Each structure stands twice: as structure tokens, then as C-alpha cells.
Amino acid sequence: MGFDAHRLVPGRELVLGGVKIPFALGLLGHSDADVLTHCVMDAVLGACALGDIGRHFPDTDEAYKGASSILLLAEVRKKAAAAGFTAGNVDAVIMAEQPKLAPYFDAMRAEIALALGLSKERVSLKATTTEGLGFTGRGEGMAAQAVVLMEETDGGAGI
């Protein structure tokens, strides 16, 4: 399981699931701040007992400044494979008041699936508002949560 949250600010592109979404605000972070992809990365790493994204891609490392999170997810896939795991499926939810995200789900699913070596049909995305409650409800930020099924492979070192 993975969770992430980022603040919405002016002057940044909004990137979710590797897809640029037209919106007046973007997510603040060291990389592209793709809250959806970050929680998927943490879910994969956690299921493989490999720590979290901060351990592998620290925000103190200039190499990751402005980095594409979908490319980092592909790196996480390689780390999981080296540990003897492959992704089976992804189920994720984005918490945001706006913009409407459903029109972008197919593109997001395709990007996440490609990075993880899955078919798009194995990636499920949902969005919800928080009915005006909390930081997401006030439009101050977005959050996302994901669950990823990881399956053992014959390769890799295992745990």
C-alpha cells in the first residue's frame, strides 16, 4: 500500500500518472510531484520490503530535481525484479476537488501499465472528492493511495 500528498501551487504543471493535465495549479515537489505515481512507487517498494521512494530517490539529490515520476516508476520496477517480484495489478484512488480527472484515466492507466510492464486492464484508477473536508477539500493539495499486488518470480535475489 502506498500513500502520498502534495500541495497545489501556481506556476507548476499538474502531472498525474505521467499525464500532463491542463489546470491553473500544479503539485509542489522536488520531482514532478506526481502524487499518483509516487503512491504506486511506494506500494511496489513496500510490498517488496525495499523501503520507500525517499530512500531510493531522495529529495536532497539534485539528480531527481524535476524528474519524471513515471520514469522513476520504471526504475522501481527494475528494483522489484531484482528482488524477485513483478507487479500483478494496481488499484489507486486520487483525492482532489478539481479538476475532473476521469477524462485522463485511460492515458494515466496506459502510462502506469507501461512503466510496470502490465496490461492497461490491470491498472484501476478512481478519483474522489473529500466533500470540502481537509486540505484536499479546500483545494490546497491532492492525495493518492494505491494498493499493488506483487507476485514472486523465479528470478532475483528474493528477500
Amino acid at 46: G
pLDDT of residue 155: 58
pLDDT of residue 71: 95
The C-alpha atoms of residue 50 and residue 53 are separated, in whole angstroms, by 9
Structural domains in the chain, sorted by start: 2-152 (3.30.1330.50)
pLDDT of residue 66: 81
Query: 119 or 157: which carries more pLDDT confidence?
Result: 119
- HEC string of the chain equals CEEEEEEEEECCCEEECCEEECCCEEECCCCCCCHHHHHHHHHHHHHCCCCCHHHHCCCCCHHHCCCCHHHHHHHHHHHHHHCCEEEEEEEEEEECCCCCCHHHHHHHHHHHHHHHCCCHHHEEEEEECCCCCHHHHCCCEEEEEEEEEEEECCCCCCC
Cell of 154: 523465479
Residue 69 and residue 17 in contact, taking contact as beta carbons nearer than 8 Å: no
Residue 130 and residue 137 in contact, taking contact as beta carbons nearer than 8 Å: yes
pLDDT tens by residue, 105-144: 999 999 999 999 999 999 999 999 999 999 999 999 999 9
pLDDT tens by residue, 27-74: 999 999 999 999 999 999 999 999 999 999 988 888 888 889 999 999
Amino acid at 51: G
pLDDT reading at 81 higher than 80: yes
Q: 88 φ, ψ to 5°?
A: -100, -45
Residue 100: which residues within 8 A CB-CB, separation 6 or more?
Answer: 127
pLDDT reading at 159 higher than 60: no
Q: What is the average pLDDT score of the chain?
A: 94
The C-alpha atoms of residue 153 and residue 85 are separated, in whole angstroms, by 5
pLDDT of residue 64: 83
**CA-closest candidate to residue 94, choices 21, 11, 13:** 21
